Structure 1
């Protein structure tokens, strides 16, 4: 049985002579039926252009892992179409909502990790930048990719909890080559193939019902445990694991091998598209070398090779080289790599016998050319590498990141059972929550600051919605300190920005980090201004804190929230205002509520 439609791709290896001289490529058409095989050679040499797509969003019954469920499709595909682009391109996506009886928050698409400089109104957040796109309505997202931005990104629904029902896909921005082939990533990192892996947990119940169970006081704020996991929209569920009290329409499906193509090494672009769980990524018969995190945040060249990487939390990405155990010399013998995904148990205090937490998948590695394909980059090897230990390249001595900014902001985040809300779990940052009341009302970006307090629902009547405000400027930097006073970790994502992670620690129970207190000088000594990592989504440990430093050079309203979908849905988020809101930006945001053409 076919569970989703493949995109028809016209595939060609035709590029410059320099590219052909650099590697022995797979034959024409080898990957034409694999819509998750990536094609940097089609983008890294060309000039910037506009990429137009028209998306029809529907919801239909599918069996991604053998269990029948209503899944969101884009142009008949789950996951949605992969957008491949280069830095400097313009993206123009027209979204048509054809979901029948879509009476909740409609459809809104967020471009996770994209800076959106000059395009705040296109960020795709109900209540912050636009109104919902209701059934029968259309909306066009139009923005430029910053000329210096490249890496692994993705898009997903940012309305209701549709992301957990499959409304997501990848946005891959390739780094363009200027000059000789030696400047390409493929030459620099010695690989000759790329593969996209969208990996995440999966629930068999509709997401809105999962959320309702989480909010029920009888759940005691314990997160719902997933039932399965998917890679690129496919999995294999053991039907005998289904609980008698929660029957499912299940048929046995086999895990088909995931093919990768390359001779020296293959770049894997891995995205955690899950709603709740982090996971570890483990291989046998091969090795892994971490290249970058999130949107192109390069890691140090001293990062060792390993067989296990983790934990990758919801919203985070990593670019990894898949390396052969021995030099490849024969194109006629594909090798098999055993890939194991191990869901992290941190948010699994409840029992779910339906879930198999560690699952294995076969990667069939197709080698495409005769001859030896040695690599020059030989590194130390460790059994397991913790992503929290990753560091970036050494900063220049005169880097502005090394200078402590005058502006410091201190936030505290918590999640607790709320007696004002029928003992539901409720998330807050500095006693303020982000829960938008009405997806049809004008978003914050289109209204005056004095009216913002009326649009949100708060934990109790004594709370008000607060938006921290900071002046913008090329020479202005901010240290953002986030203390997590919860006994659970939270992966936080900041829209519109990338930041340097100067510190990430877990303190003793009852302590937190306050940069304004003189007594924390010993903590200041632990701040990393030599090799900080660049990210846009960062995991904050239980009872821990992070110190984030970034330049305040992107004016607008930007959401910051926990990327565990259930925590986000109960208010764990806030909005930051950077600089002033331009009148034209506010006007465009307001148009999302009144200019909606019905698609015939």
Structure 2
């Protein structure tokens, strides 16, 4: 595989750390273990003096033990960087050996600028063990911009100030400054760290984070290699900001897909691929491998994964395991993660194609490949070999076996629905109880005609979705487009005014579009700490399949279905909802990101046991930017963590004297 997923280069993340951090006396080790185990969710670890026990992050990839935790330190530098720049020498001219030089980023073989983490794409992987403390210093060297990093899939129990959402849990990290994220890795599984600011993720700020558990002899697979991450993302040839709010002459669509930051751009004019290298997974024949599949996409299209002549056994999603499901085709949407097992059981020792393609509503035929490379001798045959597969990639119309679909967003290819799998971790106090709250959330990107959108003092954010049309779109939950406060809600509670918030009962008193039901305000849903909350998300108008992600919690997927007939809000309020849904699953899967069928609904349930302000939002970057989000306030302000000493504040500067 490429250097950015290999353990041998994780050291690049570490800067200026003395060798005194590399070893502990036995007494220090014993104290560290006791210290880490003694930290309760009610304590603020940012105020503990644990950095004297920190070790460089690469040392945290090890055999995990519940008796030996570590403080794992990483340093990220964010900066503008270049694809196929000077570090790549003659890589762009076909000399593939130079494509793997230190700090060479090839992407899809098209030269462009991008935003980087430690001059890598994707950013460096983080591997830690459950209950380690993770410390990441993020230094922003991106001139003229501010950002944050979100730890997608990690609930931040006890560490809400590290959730990484600007103006909700922290102030943005301004140019030239450093922000320290520190959290307890309580949530095992395959996760993702993206920027949570603007279109920074689409520009390259994202990477994998894996929280491993104590080794057990799994009967499902033989190997769980650290470099068997399959991180898929869409990729443009310009900075994504060019397409926000958008151009009337050209729609925002990505040019390529990347797998672990590698791919090959197909020039539709010349019908030739670029010479960039692909990701290679080396496997020993007749062995079974666990892959960690991550969707880091920013755009609107679900991805489809297939592996030539191989079926997949899907064993977990979003860090929670379920009864294994076998399929030929896996659909996964932005923010979702799946753990799959691939059996290298083919008799022919050769290269096999790993194919990921973008599905409707995207109309361009965009797909990308990696290579599953067989070996008979796991030592002798795995010499470094970056040669391209000697067989040409299959064409768009060349179909792999795809008889068994999993998690399909398409009504004509339903297959196995996510909501029907048997989860392994069930809390019947949530799944079988009556919820304390039940909220209907109607997702939408309503169209506003230009003469309405651009009249008067309207300042609502919008995006261009149809070239040369006389309308544009905004993002809403229940007709409310979220705007963010000018302070950080979690860290500046004394400056919160209850009148700053809105909900379905009072949103029309806020900034509203004339002659429209659409209003813009700080949309908040408040629930009691410890309550059981049920969300029913509906999509009755859009032609897209929206992914919904909830911060701070994981939810059970209780039910989902596609509507058989045209629906409207009135029918749903009357509970007149004809769909293809069957009876509720007694052992539902446990997730933090899920697709909402279109047209259809999904019902999820969780216990609001993590006090703070938590974002729930569509995981398409453009939809989040235009307001398709809502803030959940869990508990009262006096039940939330007090901001750490020295934690930054942000506010508008509006002096009264002039």
Q: TM-score, normalised by structure 2?
A: 0.71
Q: How many pairs does the alignment contain?
A: 515
SS in 2 for 1:592: coil
Match of 2:601 among 517, 520, 545: 545
Q: SS in structure 1 opposite 2:480? A: coil
Residue-by-residue CA offset, 1:433-468 (whole Å, 9 max, x unaligned): 223376xx44465241426449x9966375443311
Q: How does 1:182-331 map to 2 (within 5 A)?
A: 184=216, 186-194=217-225, 195-213=228-246, 216=247, 224-241=252-269, 252-262=274-284, 264-276=287-299, 277-294=301-318, 296-301=319-324, 303=325, 305-310=326-331, 312-326=332-346
Counterpart in the other structure of 2:49: none
Q: Note the alpha carbon deviations across 1:241-277, whole angstroms, 9 max, x for none.
A: 489xxxxxx9932443512345621111011111112
| Relative contact order, higher structure (CA 8 A, sep 6+) | 1
Given that residues 4 and 123 in structure 2 are in contact (C-alpha distance below 8 angstroms), is that contact kept between their aligned partners in structure 1?
A: no
Structure 1 residues 335 and 251: CA distance shift in structure 2, 3 A: closer
Give the corresponding residue for 1:593: 649
Distance 1:400 1:145 in 2: 24
Out of 420, 426, 437, the position equivalent to 2:474 is 426
Gaps of 5+ in 2: 12-57, 85-106, 380-400, 409-416, 455-470, 652-658
Gaps of 5+ in 1: 12-36, 178-183, 244-249, 328-332, 371-380, 596-600
Shift of 1:101: 2.7
1:405 corresponds to 2:435: yes
Confirm whether residue 501 of structure 1 aligns to residue 574 of structure 2.
no
Task: Return closer, same or farther for 1:73/1:515 CA change in 2, 3 Å cut-off.
Answer: same
Correspondence for 1:483: 538
CA distance in 2 between counterparts of 1:514 and 1:552 reads 29
1:443 touches 1:590 (CA, 8 Å); kept in 2? no
Q: Distance in 2 between matches of 1:546 and 1:129?
A: 27
Q: Residue 190 of structure 2 aligns with which residue?
A: 152
Q: Residues of 1 paired with 2:428 and 2:622: CA distance? A: 42
Question: What is the SS of the residue equivalent to 2:641?
Answer: helix
- For 2:476 and 2:259, locate their aligned partners in 1 and report how far apart those are by CA, in whole Å: 32
1:69 corresponds to? 112
**Contact 2:489/2:496 (<8 A) preserved:** no
> Which of 174, 192, 200 is the matching residue for 1:162?
200
**Offset from partner CA, 1:40-83 (integer Å, 9 cap, x none):** 75335761211111111111111411111211222222211111
Q: Distance in 2 between matches of 1:398 and 1:465?
A: 34
2:387 aligned with 1:359: no
Q: SS of the residue aligned with 1:187?
A: coil
Root-mean-square deviation (Å): 3.5
CA distance in 1 between counterparts of 2:477 and 2:142 reads 34
Which of these residues, 100, 116, 120, is aligned with residue 143 of structure 2? Answer: 100
Shift of 1:231: 0.7
Give the secondary structure class of the aligned counterpart of 1:163.
coil
Q: Is the 8 A contact 1:435 1:458 kept in 2?
A: no
Report the Cα distance in structure 1 between the residues aligned to 2:267 and 2:224, rounded to whole angstroms: 35
Contact 2:263 2:368 in 1 (8 A): no
Query: Is residue 155 of structure 2 the alignment partner of residue 125 of structure 1?
Result: no
Aligned to 1:137: 177
Question: Which of 619, 628, 650 is the matching residue for 1:563?
Answer: 619
Distance in 1 between the 2:429 and 2:641 partners? 32
Contact 2:442 2:538 in 1 (8 A): yes
Residue 228 of structure 1: how far off its partner (Å): 0.6
Change (3 A) 1:284 1:529: closer
Residue 58 (1) aligns with residue 79 (2): yes
Q: CA distance change for structure 1 residues 78 and 394 in 2, over 3 Å: closer, same or farther?
A: closer
Distance in structure 1 (CA, Å) of the matches to 2:168 and 2:224? 39
C-alpha separation in 1, matches of 2:170 and 2:253: 32
2: CA distance, partners of 1:242 / 1:101 = 38
The residue number in structure 1 matching 2:525 is 468
For residues 477 and 333 of structure 2, the distance between their equivalents in structure 1, rounded to whole angstroms, comes to: 20
Q: Trace 1:78-89 onto structure 2 (pairs within 5 A).
A: 78-89=121-132
Counterpart Cα distance in 2 of 1:210 and 1:285: 39
Indicate how the Cα distance of structure 1 residues 582 and 124 shifts in structure 2: closer, same or farther if over 3 A, else same.
farther
For 1:542 and 1:589, locate their aligned partners in 2 and report how far apart those are by CA, in whole Å: 46
Quickly say closer, same or farther: Cα 1:80–1:266, change in 2 above 3 A.
Answer: same
Point out the more displaced range, 253-262 or 462-471.
253-262
- Evaluate the alpha carbon distance shift between residue 150 and residue 242 of structure 1 in structure 2; reply closer, same or farther with a 3 A threshold: farther
Contact 1:152 1:172 in 2 (8 A): yes
Deviation by residue 1:472-506 (Cα, 9 ceiling, x = unmatched): 12xx3111111113322200100111111111112
- Distance change >3 Å, CA 190–CA 169, structure 1 → 2: same
Please tell me whether the aligned partners of residues 283 and 375 of structure 2 are also in contact (alpha carbons under 8 angstroms). Answer: yes
CA deviations on 1:168-189 (whole Å, 9 max, x unpaired) are 0011011224xxxxxx1x5242
CA distance, structure 1, for counterparts of residue 61 and residue 136 of structure 2: 21
2-structure distance, mates of 1:53, 1:394? 33
